[in-house]
């Protein structure tokens, strides 16, 4: 059990370092604002602007994952 805890703690530290390299403060602000706006959406009565907002946020999340993946691969190449 102790080995699993050490493994998980090392993985969390690696993940935090990766996020620090690939994300900025503005990214965290965008996530907070987006979560607040998603919470306020009326999903039973979506308008075109709501759908555009959801698609734009989905694309932004996808590009964020791509950026994190690229930083991870570049970090592995440097080692």
DSSP string, 9-76: HHHHHHHHHHHHHH--HHHHHHHHHHHHHHHH--TTS--HHHHHHHHHHHHHHHHHHHHHHHHHHHHH
Domain total in the chain: 1
The pLDDT of residue 1 is: 66
Residue 59's pLDDT is 96
Residue 20: domain span: 2-78
Which parts of the chain sit beneath pLDDT 70? 1, 79
Q: What is the pLDDT of residue 2?
A: 73
């Amino acid at each position: 059990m102790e080995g699993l805890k050490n493994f998980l703690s090392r993985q969390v530290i690696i993940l935090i370092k990766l996020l620090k390299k690939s994300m900025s403060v503005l990214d965290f602000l965008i996530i907070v604002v987006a979560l607040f706006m998603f919470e306020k959406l009326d999903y039973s009565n979506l308008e075109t602007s709501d759908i555009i907002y959801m698609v734009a946020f989905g694309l932004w999340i996808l590009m964020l994952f791509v950026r994190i993946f690229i930083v991870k691969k570049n970090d592995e190449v440097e080692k």
